[in-house]
Structure 1
Amino acid sequence: MSRILVAAGLFVVLAGEAVAAPQCPSEVDTQQQLTAAVPGWRDLRSKTPHRFSQVTFYDGQPAEQVSLAPDATRKVRDREVSTWQFANTSERRVWIECGYAGTSISLAQELPAGTKSCSVSYNPKVRLSGLPRIEQLECK
């Protein structure tokens, strides 16, 4: 009987831990091409990878364009940390969109049910496509 109580207690403790939120892939490969040739010009393709460069949270599907602003941004040492708080009062779900440098391709996914907040840590001293580099993304 005591083993069952210990196991049940461990489950309750672990249930309060971070939600397994999606992690944006660090880079994506794309195939881009001109829709029409440009007279007198030759098209070239870069082999530079498209690195993860921005994150957006949405109230509902990204196609609806209801992006959420961070609830707080604070400076922690030499980093900036933005935090979004999600109220579970809405029937609409929160989505995350991962953007990549040098391409219009992005990836989107619905956050798991029960996600209460996400924090993004930026390094303002290092820039990628004009934006501060994202160093960490954590959702709870």
Structure 2
Amino acid sequence: MAKTKKINVQGVDIILYEDNEHDFISLTDIARHKDPENTDTIVQNWMRNRNTIELLGFWETIYNPGFKPLEFEGFRKKAGLNSFVMTPKRWIEKTNAIGIVSKSGRYGGTFAPFQKSTTKSIPIDKRKPDTKNNYQVTSEFC
């Protein structure tokens, strides 16, 4: 049975959706932080990006034995073009994807895989330029 819970990131509530195999984070809630009235457009624009399509295809190749790689290749070739349009529903239907979940209803939206951290602290790189504009990286935990 699927479970949902909320996390708060920088004052924004984001739904986490858990099923038996994977954890998902709400892309709709993340997009709502950017523009509350056009979340669907933000998600669609994100899905038009070639890097996004390649990431989704890579994830599906690893975790989804029913993934349709030929459909993916067609999308990958068109991704990034001005004429390319991608929606979560189209991605799911055409590629047999399981890594993007589209749910309707009160706690609905578009969800993507989410990897929970197993540590309590998240390392953050603090970059400090030297005199030649080279950066030395030190790791700090928040």
TM-score by length of 1: 0.22
Larger relative helix fraction = 2
TM-score by length of 2: 0.22
Query: Larger C-alpha radius of gyration, 1 or 2?
Result: 1
The structure with more strand, counted as a fraction of residues: 1
